[in-house]
Amino acid sequence: MKTRRLFILVEGNDDERFFSRIIRPIVQDRYDSVEIIMYACMKSVKVSRYVKSITEMGHDLILCADIDQERNVRGKKAVLHQRFSPLADDSIIVIIREIESWYLAGLDSRAQKKFGIRSFRTTNHITKEIFNGMIPRYYTSRIVFMGDILAAYSLPVAREKNRSFSYFCGKYDIPADPDQTA
Protein backbone atom coordinates (compact mmCIF):
# COMPACT_ATOMS: atom_id res chain seq x y z
CA MET A 1 0.00 0.00 0.00
CA LYS A 2 1.36 3.41 -1.02
CA THR A 3 2.11 5.94 1.69
CA ARG A 4 -0.14 8.99 1.39
CA ARG A 5 1.35 12.23 2.69
CA LEU A 6 0.23 15.84 2.77
CA PHE A 7 2.69 18.71 2.68
CA ILE A 8 1.37 22.14 3.64
CA LEU A 9 3.78 24.93 2.76
CA VAL A 10 3.14 28.08 4.79
CA GLU A 11 4.83 31.45 4.92
CA GLY A 12 5.73 31.85 8.58
CA ASN A 13 5.26 31.05 12.25
CA ASP A 14 1.71 32.40 12.57
CA ASP A 15 0.60 30.30 9.59
CA GLU A 16 2.40 27.24 10.97
CA ARG A 17 0.68 27.69 14.35
CA PHE A 18 -2.75 28.03 12.70
CA PHE A 19 -2.38 25.00 10.43
CA SER A 20 -0.90 22.86 13.21
CA ARG A 21 -3.67 23.62 15.69
CA ILE A 22 -6.73 23.95 13.45
CA ILE A 23 -6.20 22.09 10.14
CA ARG A 24 -3.80 19.22 10.88
CA PRO A 25 -6.05 17.56 13.51
CA ILE A 26 -8.95 17.54 11.03
CA VAL A 27 -7.07 16.10 8.04
CA GLN A 28 -4.53 13.83 9.76
CA ASP A 29 -6.78 10.75 9.55
CA ARG A 30 -6.72 10.98 5.75
CA TYR A 31 -2.93 10.74 5.53
CA ASP A 32 -0.03 8.72 6.85
CA SER A 33 1.60 12.05 7.71
CA VAL A 34 0.83 15.75 7.49
CA GLU A 35 3.90 17.95 7.36
CA ILE A 36 3.86 21.71 7.65
CA ILE A 37 6.86 23.48 6.15
CA MET A 38 7.63 27.20 6.45
CA TYR A 39 8.93 28.40 3.09
CA ALA A 40 9.13 32.20 3.29
CA CYS A 41 12.77 32.25 4.42
CA MET A 42 13.88 29.60 1.93
CA LYS A 43 15.39 30.37 -1.43
CA SER A 44 12.98 29.98 -4.34
CA VAL A 45 15.15 27.25 -5.86
CA LYS A 46 14.86 25.14 -2.70
CA VAL A 47 11.07 25.58 -2.52
CA SER A 48 10.79 24.70 -6.22
CA ARG A 49 12.76 21.50 -5.57
CA TYR A 50 10.43 20.64 -2.66
CA VAL A 51 7.39 21.19 -4.86
CA LYS A 52 8.86 19.11 -7.69
CA SER A 53 9.82 16.17 -5.45
CA ILE A 54 6.48 16.17 -3.60
CA THR A 55 4.50 16.10 -6.84
CA GLU A 56 6.80 13.51 -8.46
CA MET A 57 6.26 11.21 -5.46
CA GLY A 58 2.50 11.63 -5.90
CA HIS A 59 1.86 13.21 -2.51
CA ASP A 60 -0.62 16.01 -1.87
CA LEU A 61 0.61 19.58 -1.66
CA ILE A 62 -0.96 22.83 -0.50
CA LEU A 63 1.00 26.07 -0.72
CA CYS A 64 -0.57 28.91 1.25
CA ALA A 65 0.25 32.57 0.70
CA ASP A 66 -1.19 35.88 1.83
CA ILE A 67 -2.55 38.00 -1.01
CA ASP A 68 -0.43 40.90 0.30
CA GLN A 69 -0.42 43.78 -2.20
CA GLU A 70 -1.69 41.84 -5.22
CA ARG A 71 -4.97 43.06 -6.70
CA ASN A 72 -6.58 39.64 -6.88
CA VAL A 73 -6.07 35.90 -6.43
CA ARG A 74 -5.10 35.40 -10.07
CA GLY A 75 -2.33 37.99 -9.73
CA LYS A 76 -0.97 36.37 -6.57
CA LYS A 77 -0.99 32.93 -8.19
CA ALA A 78 0.95 34.34 -11.15
CA VAL A 79 3.60 35.69 -8.77
CA LEU A 80 3.85 32.31 -7.04
CA HIS A 81 4.09 30.44 -10.37
CA GLN A 82 6.93 32.70 -11.43
CA ARG A 83 8.73 32.23 -8.12
CA PHE A 84 8.16 28.46 -7.78
CA SER A 85 8.09 27.15 -11.35
CA PRO A 86 6.72 23.59 -10.99
CA LEU A 87 3.80 24.71 -8.78
CA ALA A 88 0.34 23.64 -10.01
CA ASP A 89 -2.46 26.20 -9.84
CA ASP A 90 -4.76 23.90 -7.89
CA SER A 91 -2.13 23.50 -5.15
CA ILE A 92 -2.22 27.20 -4.22
CA ILE A 93 -4.43 28.73 -1.54
CA VAL A 94 -4.42 32.51 -1.34
CA ILE A 95 -5.34 33.88 2.06
CA ILE A 96 -7.39 37.08 1.96
CA ARG A 97 -5.77 39.41 3.30
CA GLU A 98 -3.42 37.73 5.74
CA ILE A 99 -3.48 34.71 8.09
CA GLU A 100 -4.59 36.98 10.95
CA SER A 101 -7.93 37.29 9.15
CA TRP A 102 -8.37 33.52 9.47
CA TYR A 103 -7.56 33.70 13.17
CA LEU A 104 -10.18 36.38 13.88
CA ALA A 105 -12.76 34.71 11.63
CA GLY A 106 -13.09 31.82 14.10
CA LEU A 107 -14.24 33.95 17.01
CA ASP A 108 -17.95 33.84 17.74
CA SER A 109 -19.66 36.77 19.48
CA ARG A 110 -19.04 35.29 22.93
CA ALA A 111 -15.30 34.90 22.29
CA GLN A 112 -15.10 38.39 20.75
CA LYS A 113 -16.67 39.80 23.90
CA LYS A 114 -14.30 37.78 26.11
CA PHE A 115 -11.28 39.23 24.27
CA GLY A 116 -12.78 42.72 24.04
CA ILE A 117 -12.73 42.65 20.24
CA ARG A 118 -15.42 44.46 18.32
CA SER A 119 -17.70 42.28 16.24
CA PHE A 120 -16.99 41.74 12.55
CA ARG A 121 -19.43 40.45 9.97
CA THR A 122 -16.45 39.57 7.79
CA THR A 123 -12.69 39.44 8.34
CA ASN A 124 -11.71 39.63 4.67
CA HIS A 125 -10.16 43.07 5.24
CA ILE A 126 -8.03 42.17 8.29
CA THR A 127 -4.31 42.79 7.96
CA LYS A 128 -1.50 42.10 10.41
CA GLU A 129 -1.53 45.77 11.45
CA ILE A 130 -5.28 45.78 12.18
CA PHE A 131 -4.92 42.51 14.10
CA ASN A 132 -2.02 43.82 16.16
CA GLY A 133 -4.06 46.89 17.07
CA MET A 134 -6.78 44.65 18.51
CA ILE A 135 -4.58 42.75 20.94
CA PRO A 136 -5.88 43.53 24.43
CA ARG A 137 -3.40 45.41 26.61
CA TYR A 138 -3.39 42.67 29.24
CA TYR A 139 -1.61 40.39 26.73
CA THR A 140 2.13 40.81 26.90
CA SER A 141 2.62 38.33 24.07
CA ARG A 142 1.06 38.30 20.61
CA ILE A 143 1.75 34.56 20.44
CA VAL A 144 -0.18 33.87 23.65
CA PHE A 145 -3.10 35.92 22.30
CA MET A 146 -3.08 33.93 19.08
CA GLY A 147 -2.99 30.68 21.06
CA ASP A 148 -6.00 31.77 23.10
CA ILE A 149 -7.87 32.59 19.88
CA LEU A 150 -7.12 29.12 18.52
CA ALA A 151 -8.34 27.54 21.79
CA ALA A 152 -11.70 29.30 21.30
CA TYR A 153 -11.85 28.70 17.53
CA SER A 154 -15.13 27.89 15.79
CA LEU A 155 -14.88 26.41 12.29
CA PRO A 156 -18.52 27.10 11.38
CA VAL A 157 -18.13 30.76 12.37
CA ALA A 158 -14.82 31.06 10.50
CA ARG A 159 -16.38 29.67 7.33
CA GLU A 160 -19.08 32.34 7.52
CA LYS A 161 -16.76 35.25 8.23
CA ASN A 162 -13.91 34.74 5.79
CA ARG A 163 -14.31 34.07 2.07
CA SER A 164 -10.87 32.55 1.49
CA PHE A 165 -11.13 30.30 4.57
CA SER A 166 -14.54 29.11 3.39
CA TYR A 167 -13.06 28.38 -0.05
CA PHE A 168 -10.17 26.47 1.53
CA CYS A 169 -12.55 24.37 3.65
CA GLY A 170 -14.74 23.55 0.66
CA LYS A 171 -11.81 22.67 -1.57
CA TYR A 172 -10.22 20.33 0.98
CA ASP A 173 -13.40 18.85 2.46
CA ILE A 174 -12.93 20.41 5.89
CA PRO A 175 -16.25 19.76 7.66
CA ALA A 176 -18.05 22.63 9.38
CA ASP A 177 -18.22 20.43 12.46
CA PRO A 178 -14.75 18.98 13.13
CA ASP A 179 -16.32 16.01 14.93
CA GLN A 180 -17.95 14.93 11.65
CA THR A 181 -16.02 12.58 9.40
CA ALA A 182 -15.00 14.09 6.11
Beta carbons within 10 angstroms of residue 39's beta carbon: 21
Q: With cut-offs at 50, 70 and 90, classify the pLDDT of residue 1.
A: low
Tell me, what DSSP letter sits at residue 113? H
**What is the pLDDT of the chain when averaged over all its residues?**
95
| Beta strands in the chain, from DSSP E residues, in sequence order | 5-10, 33-38, 60-66, 92-95
pTM of structure:
0.95
Q: Where exactly are the structural domains of the chain?
A: 1-95, 99-161
What pLDDT, in 10s, does the model give residues 77-129? 999 999 998 899 999 999 999 999 999 999 999 999 999 999 999 999 999 99
Contact 100, 129 (CB under 8 A): no
Q: What are phi and psi of 78, to 5 degrees?
A: -60, -40
Q: Which fold has domain 1-95?
A: Rossmann fold (3.40.50)
Report the candidate in 145, 148, 150, 124 with the shortest Cα–Cα distance to residue 25: 150
